[in-house]
């Protein structure tokens, strides 16, 4: 009996999702093909029907953020409208959000895997570059100064968001990590001229409650979209 339409695409997506979570959690070198396929509910033997190699799969994993229309809803409570004219501040707040910080398995691969990329071949580095350029292009749409888009500003904001999350994840002191994310967010919004005068609230994210906090206390602390 033939498989239904879309079956192959669905299986491939499951493999990519499994690999992304495992790579983000354990790194590229520490994860085996058996583990990846098991995470997708498949046997090892079927891997090469979908990918030429582990590196080929790695390239597909790197290309998922800002190029996957379903990714924008992967962090609970975070929404980004990529078609919005004020998408820039939405992206900054989402990228440096507590949800992204906590959800390691569903991290943007530019945060979780930069050192692996640097040690990889040209295809992986090219995939990383493609995702970074896509992020810059999204940010650039919201940065119009004197009638011109500002790519240098967009690139600086993208690098600050990625680097800020990497450093925050490396810290032991949770309060220091939270402050760093908040500081990077504030500076990035200022660079983009998306400060307090920005009226749009769409795309802001609510912080996940910490131990002992209630929904009401969080509502008092910050606006919840």
The tens digit of pLDDT for each residue in 123-182 reads 888 889 999 999 999 999 999 776 666 899 999 999 999 999 999 999 999 999 999 999
pLDDT given for residue 208 in this prediction: 42
The helix/strand count (H/E) of the chain reads as 11, 2
pLDDT given for residue 174 in this prediction: 96
Q: CA torsion 71→75→81→83, rounded to 10°?
A: -20
CATH of domain 71-208: 1.10.357.10
pLDDT given for residue 116 in this prediction: 83
pLDDT given for residue 169 in this prediction: 95
**Mean per-residue pLDDT of the chain:** 82
- Report CA Rg, the chain: 19
Local confidence band at 120 (pLDDT 50, 70, 90 cut-offs): confident
Give me the mean pLDDT over the 87-100 stretch.
Answer: 94
Rounded to whole angstroms, the maximal C-alpha distance in the chain is 62
Q: Which two tokens stand for residue 154?
A: 């967009």
Q: How far, in Å, CA of 74 to CA of 200, rounded?
A: 21
Asked whether the predicted pLDDT for residue 218 surpasses 90, the reply is: no
Whether the Cβ atoms of residue 121 and residue 55 lie closer than 8 Å to each other: yes
pLDDT given for residue 59 in this prediction: 85
User: What's the CATH number of domain 7-54, 1.20.1250.20, 3.40.228.10, 3.90.1170.50, 1.10.10.60?
Assistant: 1.10.10.60
pLDDT given for residue 81 in this prediction: 84
Does 205 or 148 have the greater pLDDT score? 148
pLDDT given for residue 119 in this prediction: 83
Q: Which two tokens stand for residue 211?
A: 């131990």
Q: Which two tokens stand for residue 53?
A: 């190699």
Please tell me what DSSP assigns to residue 28: S
Residue with tokens 């994860």: 31
Q: Which of 117-126, 153-162, 216-225 has the lowest mean pLDDT?
A: 216-225
Q: How far, in Å, CA of 113 to CA of 67, rounded?
A: 17
Domain residue extents for the chain: 7-54, 71-208
Residue percentage of the chain with pLDDT more than 90: 47
Q: How far, in Å, CA of 141 to CA of 157, rounded?
A: 13
Does 73 or 24 have the greater pLDDT score? 24
Asked whether the predicted pLDDT for residue 85 surpasses 70, the reply is: yes
Give me the mean pLDDT over the 15-27 stretch.
Answer: 92
Local confidence band at 92 (pLDDT 50, 70, 90 cut-offs): very high
Percentage helix, strand, coil, to 5, in the chain? 60, 0, 40
């Amino acid at each position: 009996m033939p498989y239904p339409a879309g079956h192959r695409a669905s299986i491939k997506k499951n493999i990519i999702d499994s690999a992304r979570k495992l790579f983000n959690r354990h790194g590229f070198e520490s994860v085996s093909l058996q583990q990846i396929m098991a995470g997708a509910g498949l046997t090892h033997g079927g891997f090469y029907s979908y990918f030429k190699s582990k590196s080929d799969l790695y390239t597909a994993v790197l290309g998922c953020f800002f190029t996957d229309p379903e990714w924008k809803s992967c962090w609970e409570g975070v929404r980004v409208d990529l078609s919005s004219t004020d998408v820039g501040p939405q992206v900054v707040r989402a990228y440096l959000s507590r949800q992204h910080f906590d959800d390691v398995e569903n991290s943007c691969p530019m945060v979780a895997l930069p050192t692996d990329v640097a040690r990889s071949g040209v295809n992986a580095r090219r995939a990383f570059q493609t995702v970074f350029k896509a992020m810059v292009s999204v940010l650039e749409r919201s940065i119009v100064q004197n009638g011109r888009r500002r790519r240098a500003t967009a690139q600086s904001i993208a690098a600050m968001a990625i680097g800020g999350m990497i450093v925050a994840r490396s810290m032991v002191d949770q309060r220091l990590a939270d402050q760093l994310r908040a500081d990077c967010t504030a500076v990035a919004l200022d660079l983009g001229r998306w400060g307090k005068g920005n009226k749009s609230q769409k795309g802001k994210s609510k912080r996940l409650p910490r131990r002992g906090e209630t929904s009401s206390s969080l509502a008092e602390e910050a606006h919840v979209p």
